Amino acid sequence: AQSVAQPEDQVNVAEGNPLTVKCTYSVSGNPYLFWYVQYPNRGLQFLLKYITGDNLVKGSYGFEAEFNKSQTSFHLKKPSALVSDSALYFCAVRDIGSGNTGKLIFGQGTTLQVKP
Amino acid sequence: GAVVSQHPSWVICKSGTSVKIECRSLDFQATTMFWYRQFPKQSLMLMATSNEGSKATYEQGVEKDKFLINHASLTLSTLTVTSAHPEDSSFYICSAAGQASYNSPLHFGNGTRLTVT
């Protein structure tokens, strides 16, 4: 079964510092990985995805993620955090394959708190 | 970009009544829509998957008679919470897939906050 794990419930960083939000995955076959952000009482906004190609993926709002096959990780990163980046972040894997619906399977979520 | 509109954004209803939530894809055709439920500070739990013109597929443990899903057109899916009870209070989010390709991200509505009193 496909799954993703986000080992940290919360990440705290100071504004201007780099940030990393961790994600590890477990899939059979090639992973289709996504990062989403959720602001309070809102739906999810797509940040970036990895399907194939370069291991470093660039996305919206200055975020990027590094796919590491040997470590089965897909950590979200940003060189310089903003207070407005404070939100709930979800890593997800697409459930693919014959008979599967293509649903997204989400990690537990990580709250990012950026302090001024 | 692809836009998914969800309505209402919040609703308060009395115990025993039914509530309908709409999910519309505004600028693309959604062959598949997913309905999720989210408790405070928790992850999203998939409730069901609906394909246009066919019956929804419910996840294990989700009561199909309580959470009625209809996907009558390529741009509209509805979730009806029937005979709502306080334990049904939650944040419900829909998402839509516009292409038959797993490369494409799913697009999400802004969610509906349901409070049952």
User: Per-residue pLDDT tens for A50-65?
Assistant: 998 899 999 999 999 9
Across the interface, do B110 and A90 touch by the CB < 8 Å criterion?
no
- % chain A with pLDDT above 90: 78
Interval B45-53 mean pLDDT: 90
- Of A100 and A41, more confident: A41
**Is 70 exceeded by the pLDDT of residue B14?**
yes
Residues in chain A closer than 8 A to B4 (CB atoms): 43
**Is 90 exceeded by the pLDDT of residue B91?**
yes
Residues 6+ apart with CB under 8 A from B34: A101, A103, A104, B46, B48, B49, B50, B94, B95, B96, B97, B106
Give the whole-angstrom CA distance, residue A45 versus residue A60. Answer: 10
Give the whole-angstrom CA distance, residue B20 versus residue B65. Answer: 14
Across the interface, do A49 and B57 touch by the CB < 8 Å criterion?
no
Across the interface, do B107 and A46 touch by the CB < 8 Å criterion?
yes
**Does any CB of chain A come closer than 8 Å to the CB of residue B41?**
yes
Query: What H or E segment, with its residue span, contains residue B115?
Result: strand B112-116
Across the interface, do A90 and B44 touch by the CB < 8 Å criterion?
yes
- % chain B with pLDDT above 90: 69
Give the whole-angstrom CA distance, residue B34 versus residue B19. Answer: 18
pLDDT for res A16:
97
- Which of A97-111, B41-55, B71-85 ranks highest by mean pLDDT? B71-85
Interface probe for B, chosen from A100, A104, A113 (most Cβ of B below 10 Å), is: A104
- % chain A with pLDDT above 70: 97
pLDDT for res A102:
81
pLDDT for res B100:
59
**Is 70 exceeded by the pLDDT of residue A71?**
yes
**Is 80 exceeded by the pLDDT of residue A97?**
no
Interval A4-28 mean pLDDT: 96
Scanning every residue of chain B, which has its alpha carbon at the shortest distance from the alpha carbon of A42?
A: B110
pLDDT for res B103:
74
